[in-house]
Amino acid sequence: MKKTILTGLRPTGNLHLGHLFGAGQNYVKLQDEYEFFLEIADVQALTDNFNNPEKVRKNVYEITMDLLAIGIDPKKVNIFLQSKIPEIAELTVYYSNLVTVNRLFRNPTVKAEVAQKKELFGNNGESITYGFLGYPVSQAADITALSGEVVPVGDDQLPLLEQCREIVRKFNNIYGETLKEPEAYLSNVTRLKGLDGNEKMGKSLGNAIFLVDSEEVISKKVMAAVTDPSKIKKDDPANPDICMVYYYHKLVTPDSELKNVCSECKAGKRGCVSCKKELINNLCEFLKPIKEKRKQYEDNPKLVKDILDNGTCNAKKKAEDTLRKVKHAMKIDY
Ligand code: TRP
């Protein structure tokens, strides 16, 4: 019997290279070994985008196409839509008795996000909503509804997984052994830096290359990338290890070429502009098959919808089964 993987993504924007190298490539590997449920977490996305439903709706399809384009195989992975599984919302209600408000306020992931979202939740988080504060409970419902045993996440998500494990333990303690405690599987050990040298590539940081970026957009972004600041003139020698252009060359440039990039840079035989142009070219080559695959789905929205419907149907059956057990354990199976 294959173990079950459950992971989720908030549909708030397209996937970028950070997602691909950090998590996406890993999902593609794991899809052969596990029973895989991949949630498009639109209900969770609404907790901090409740005032922008169009954005969430659009990105449900955008992100699904991105996932398919990077090689997630819908025959192996159930891509499903959270809002179409009311069982998850119902579980959230039952689990909300098992977690204190203080515990949620102390959750480091929630804290960090509230601090970032001042416009929405106030300078000191005084306007935080009940829904946002409670999203870790809803995430515990996502995981347990599908009986996720392994949850591939980035390290920023670990406090959410811990919260889920606590809820599971408390549930089992009070109502009897019913739910499985999930394990984290750290999937983004390779966190990609941004073009600006920031430790993380992120949509909100404005330093990301999206899989759907055109050559023109990629050019603009790469041309503005941070290089060795001590290099002033074209033939100054420089240190590739502190250059973001070289950092990205390492990801997409063939080894034979890469050696030259490094040695020429160190020897002052490579101007940054031509080095950037080569990178732009190689990035576009790298993204070409992904874009080609994506185009097939863009041209066939019905297929994308069918894939989501099918994944959701499979996920719903599992969630119904979990809910039945939960209600039985809680003595509300009237
Ligand atoms: N919170 C996750 C994120 O922001 C998305 C998510 C929703 C998730 N449900 C999940 C991750 C269940 C793992 C398991 O990236």
What structural domains and CATH numbers belong to the chain? 4-193+301-329 (3.40.50.620), 215-294 (1.10.240.10)
Count Cα atoms within 13 angstroms, Cβ side, for 282: 21
Atom 10 of ligand 1: nearest residue by CA position: 8
Candidate from 10, 15, 203 with most ligand 1 atoms within 8 A of CB, to mutate:
10
What average pLDDT is seen over the chain? 95
The model's pLDDT over 5-57, given as tens digits with 9 standing for 90+, comes to 999 999 999 999 999 998 899 999 999 999 999 999 999 999 999 999 999 99
Please name which of 10, 9, 28, 5 lies closest in space to residue 290, comparing C-alpha atoms. 28
Ligand 1 centroid, distance to 136 Cα (angstroms): 9
Q: Is the dihedral of CA 165, 98, 323, 89 positive or negative?
A: negative
Atom 15 of ligand 1: nearest residue by CA position: 9
Q: What is the pLDDT of residue 202?
A: 84
The model's pLDDT over 205-241, given as tens digits with 9 standing for 90+, comes to 888 999 999 999 999 999 999 999 999 999 999 999 9
DSSP string of 90-156?
A: HHHHHHGGGS-HHHHHH-HHHHHHHHH-HHHH-TTSTT--HHHHTHHHHHHHHHHHTT-SEEEE-GG
Please name which of 334, 329, 323 lies closest in space to residue 90, comparing C-alpha atoms. 323
Classified as helix, coil or strand, 221 is helix
Alpha helix positions (H), the chain: 17-19, 25-30, 42-47, 53-69, 86-95, 101-106, 108-116, 118-121, 130-133, 135-145, 158-175, 215-223, 244-252, 255-267, 272-298, 301-329
Atom 9 of ligand 1: nearest residue by CA position: 8
The pairing of strands 35-40 and 183-186 is unpaired
The model's pLDDT over 100-141, given as tens digits with 9 standing for 90+, comes to 999 999 999 999 999 999 999 999 999 999 999 999 999 999
pTM over 0.85: yes
The mean per-residue pLDDT over the stretch 190-217 comes to: 89
Please name which of 306, 4, 2 lies closest in space to residue 179, comparing C-alpha atoms. 4
Ligand 1 centroid, distance to 51 Cα (angstroms): 20
Q: Band of the pLDDT at 191, cuts 50, 70, 90?
A: confident
For residue 85, the surrounding DSSP H or E stretch is none
CA distance 65 to 95: 32
Q: In ligand 1, which atom is closest to the CA atom of 152?
A: 13
Which amino acid, 52? N
Ligand 1 centroid, distance to 153 Cα (angstroms): 8
